[in-house]
Amino acid sequence: MNRLRTYAAEFRAWLEETHGAGFELRRHFFRRFFDSDLVSTPGQWQAVAIGLFAIVVSLPVPLLQAYFHKYRMLSELDSDVPFRHAVMADHLFLITLAMTLTAMITAIQWQSLFPGLRDYLVLAGLPVRTQQVFRAKFTALLVFMGIFVGALCVPPSCSLPFVMAGRYYTPHWANSIEMATAMAASAFFVFFALVALQGLLLNVTPPRWFPAISLLVQGVVFTLAVCALPLVISIPQLDRFMDQRPDFARWVPPAWFLALDQWLNGSRERYFAELGRIAWAGVGIAAFLAVVAYWWSYRRQKVRMLETPVQARGDFSVLRRALAVLRDRLIPELPEQAVFGFTAATLSRSRMHRMVLTAFVAVALALIAEGFVSLFLNPRTIAANSYALRQAAASAPLALSLFVLAGYRYLFRLPVELRANWLFRVHEGGNHKLLLRGMEKFVFWFGTIPVGAITLPLEVRVFGWQTGVEIAVLTFLPALIVQEALLAGFDKIPFTSAYLPGQRPLIQTVTLYGAAFGAYVILLGGVIVSAVRLTGSFLLAFSLMLAIWGWLRWSRRVYGDAGEIEYEESMEPAVQTLAIFRD
């Protein structure tokens, strides 16, 4: 034990020592993967990172119990065919899950995949060559992804074979290694492919267009990855198709890595051998392209970044004037206009804030897609006007409004240039109610209204004109209620308050959203579909929702006035009291 402590102390001392430029650059880049411009409070992001790591590592835990019972039952059957098919489907599920989560984390780290302008500016004047910077960035990135992929692949690979153990399967440690290899290969294939894609964009797109195009690609990759999750989760149900060997599998990367997994596990089918070779080639080519992208970028990117002038925004005088007239009508008060305009400008230009909103919208889309996908996977329920289809259609605006509005509330807490909030503090001028109303109007015009407008055609398509409009009205009112509930007690001008992340454990947040989704989207969706059947029940539901919204709005106006705008976020107390006070 003492020797261990000595080694640990020596290792810490070694880490604190100055090493070569390459090591120091790698250390710098590695730490920056956990950095954020949002907070200056030390230790906060470590809490979030540890929470995230714990979730990734514990992902297989809920699976194990389900798998244990499933494989016990399958082992009782006379034939081993259902067992083998289930094993293949579960391997395909884990491989696809690894690919999807890797795509998500790579999309989140999209801006850190290559050295950026800030790196060049910070490192300017230091005795490091550009080549060193690129090498250090690439290796730091590999270490970061290696840790993530390891945390993602090792726990299920080690546990699953032993859970499957039974009459038809004898586990061995080699099986765990083979499975982990297939999962890790699939994850690295996705990672290298995305690095190569970002490298291609970096070198091919005109420098002025690059930020917009790169952000678009980042948003698309992230949204696709999130939307793919419901599909991925339904893969174990595809076990009945596992005896098929379709030709199109050559074009489906998860199938390559399933074949690789089967081949490593001892299957000598020619089909698996062929697809397995494609899998290795895929990883090799993707890695090669990523290295080429880095090599190519190192020669060009620095010049492009440092020498491209910042583009002035378009004047659009006519459009500006037209919008100004509209704005003056809809938002007559100047302080309201100030916050409305500031929020719109920040959201349209801050990459990080747009990504956060994209993430919330992506989760909503994934949940909406899940409703429809499960219908399509079960052809019996797709019959037109089936209750399930109608409920899925009615749930769409509810899911979207819940996540868009919650997304706004969350991202409004994330500051942009925190120290510049003096501008609002000095110029608040007793207008705090009007300033907060500017934020509220932004949420209404850019959240609640667009959600209702976008989903109206879906409702009309599924329910017909009259019922579709009724559904749209009954889903719009809950959105207004959610808006009121979320903005109650939110006395902040968007993007101007200090932010303390990790106040609530991630798992608690996920559970809360899950509960809100269950109650608000699934239950309320069912109630709304039932309510539109009769005019009386529609009117009752409409009146009830209107009354709740009116009451919430009135309560917020009367009791919710904090009297001042918050610019500092304080930590929640470690011990919550019951808040019982004597008058």
Partner 1 sequence: MLEVRGLVKRYNRVPVVDDVSFVIRPGEILGYLGPNGAGKSTTVKILTGLIEPSDGGIFFNGTDVRKDFVAFQRRIGYVPEEAHVYPHLTGSEYLQLIGRLRGLPRRVLEPRMEELLRVFSLWDDRHSPLSSYSKGMRQKILLSGALLHNPELLILDEPFSGLDVTTALVLRTLLHELAALGKMVFYSSHVLEVVEKVCYRVLILRKGKVVAHETVERLRDLMHEPSLENIFAQLTEQEDPAEKVRGILAAMQS
Q: What is the DSSP letter of 2?
A: H
Question: Minimum distance between the CB of residue 341 and partner 1, rounded to whole angstroms?
Answer: 7
Question: Minimum distance between the CB of residue 413 and partner 1, rounded to whole angstroms?
Answer: 17
Which of 319/334 has CB closer to partner 1? 334
Paired tokens of 319: 């459009």
Q: Give yes or no for residue 342 binding partner 1 (CB under 8 A).
A: yes
Helices (H), ranges, 165-209: 173-204
Q: What is the Cβ-side half-sphere exposure of residue 377, based on CA atoms within 13 angstroms? A: 17
Which of 336/459 has CB closer to partner 1? 336
Paired tokens of 395: 């749930």
169 in helix, strand or coil? strand
- Interacting stretch for partner 1, rule CB under 8 A, among 29-37, 226-234, 341-349, 406-414? 341-349
Question: Minimum distance between the CB of residue 417 and partner 1, rounded to whole angstroms?
Answer: 5
Which of 419/582 has CB closer to partner 1? 419
CB contact set of 395 (below 8 Å; sequence gap of 6+): 368, 371, 521, 522, 525
3-state secondary structure 352-413: HHHHHHHHHHHHHHHHHHHHHHHHHHCHHHCCCCCHHHHHHHHHHHHHHHHHHHHHHHHHHC
Question: Minimum distance between the CB of residue 337 and partner 1, rounded to whole angstroms?
Answer: 5
Query: Residue from 186, 346, 358, 448 that binds partner 1 (CB under 8 A)?
Result: 346
Query: Using CB under 8 A, which residues numbered 392 to 411 contact partner 1?
Result: none
- Interacting stretch for partner 1, rule CB under 8 A, among 196-204, 214-222, 233-241, 344-352? 344-352
Distance CA 33, CA 350 (A): 19
Question: Minimum distance between the CB of residue 121 and partner 1, rounded to whole angstroms?
Answer: 12
Question: Minimum distance between the CB of residue 345 and partner 1, rounded to whole angstroms?
Answer: 6
Q: Give yes or no for residue 416 binding partner 1 (CB under 8 A).
A: yes
Q: What is the DSSP letter of 444?
A: I
Which of 70/433 has CB closer to partner 1? 433
Which of 91/432 has CB closer to partner 1? 432
Distance CA 220, CA 146 (A): 24
Is the Cβ–Cβ distance between 395 and 525 less than 8 Å? Answer: yes
Q: What is the DSSP letter of 166?
A: B
Paired tokens of 354: 């747009």
Is the Cβ–Cβ distance between 68 and 163 less than 8 Å? Answer: yes
Question: Minimum distance between the CB of residue 208 and partner 1, rounded to whole angstroms?
Answer: 13
Question: Minimum distance between the CB of residue 13 and partner 1, rounded to whole angstroms?
Answer: 23
Helix or strand holding residue 155 (H, E): helix 130-164
Q: Give yes or no for residue 341 binding partner 1 (CB under 8 A).
A: yes
Other beta carbons within 10 Å of 501? 18
Question: Minimum distance between the CB of residue 308 and partner 1, rounded to whole angstroms?
Answer: 11
Q: Give yes or no for residue 349 binding partner 1 (CB under 8 A).
A: yes
- Interacting stretch for partner 1, rule CB under 8 A, among 44-52, 218-226, 345-353, 404-412? 345-353
Which of 293/357 has CB closer to partner 1? 357
- Interacting stretch for partner 1, rule CB under 8 A, among 134-142, 234-242, 380-388, 416-424? 416-424
Question: Minimum distance between the CB of residue 350 and partner 1, rounded to whole angstroms?
Answer: 6
Query: Residue from 230, 253, 335, 452 that binds partner 1 (CB under 8 A)?
Result: 335
Q: Residue 157's closest CA among 140, 137, 172?
A: 172
Supply the angle between the helices 334-349 and 351-377 in degrees, to the nearest 10.
Answer: 70
Distance CA 82, CA 90 (A): 12
Q: Residue 38's closest CA among 549, 535, 495?
A: 495
Lookup result for tokens 């609002």: 424
Note every long-range contact of 384-390, with CB atoms under 8 Å and residues 24 or more positions apart, other chains counting. Answer: 387/529, 389/462, 390/462, 390/463, 390/529
Size of the site for partner 1 (CB under 8 A): 34
Lookup result for tokens 């690894």: 98
206 in helix, strand or coil? coil
Which of 43/309 has CB closer to partner 1? 309
Query: Residue from 417, 561, 568, 572 that binds partner 1 (CB under 8 A)?
Result: 417
Which of 48/344 has CB closer to partner 1? 344
Residues 420-439, mask of contacts with partner 1 (x by CB under 8 A): x-xxxxxxxxxx---x----
Q: Give yes or no for residue 345 binding partner 1 (CB under 8 A).
A: yes
- Classify burial at 106, counting beta carbons within 10 Å of its beta carbon; exposed 0-12, middle 13-18, buried 19 or more: buried
Query: Using CB under 8 A, which residues numbered 298 to 317 contact partner 1?
Result: 309-315
Q: Give yes or no for residue 328 binding partner 1 (CB under 8 A).
A: yes
Question: Minimum distance between the CB of residue 349 and partner 1, rounded to whole angstroms?
Answer: 4
Query: Residue from 122, 212, 334, 510 that binds partner 1 (CB under 8 A)?
Result: 334
3-state secondary structure 6-33: HHHHHHHHHHHCCCCHHHHHHHHHHHHC
Q: Give yes or no for residue 419 binding partner 1 (CB under 8 A).
A: yes
Distance CA 396, CA 414 (A): 27
Which of 427/533 has CB closer to partner 1? 427
Question: Minimum distance between the CB of residue 323 and partner 1, rounded to whole angstroms?
Answer: 12
Q: Give yes or no for residue 494 binding partner 1 (CB under 8 A).
A: no
Question: Minimum distance between the CB of residue 387 and partner 1, rounded to whole angstroms?
Answer: 48
Which of 1/310 has CB closer to partner 1? 310
Question: Minimum distance between the CB of residue 347 and partner 1, rounded to whole angstroms?
Answer: 10
- Interacting stretch for partner 1, rule CB under 8 A, among 50-58, 119-127, 332-340, 515-523? 332-340
Which of 429/518 has CB closer to partner 1? 429
Query: Residue from 259, 338, 361, 406 that binds partner 1 (CB under 8 A)?
Result: 338
To the nearest 10°, the Cα dihedral for 183, 187, 190, 194? -170
Paired tokens of 260: 């690789």
Which of 290/416 has CB closer to partner 1? 416
Which of 245/349 has CB closer to partner 1? 349
Distance CA 354, CA 446 (A): 13
Distance CA 144, CA 72 (A): 38
Interface residues toward partner 1, by CB under 8 A: 309-315, 324, 328, 334-335, 337-338, 341-342, 345-346, 349-350, 416-417, 419-420, 422-431, 435
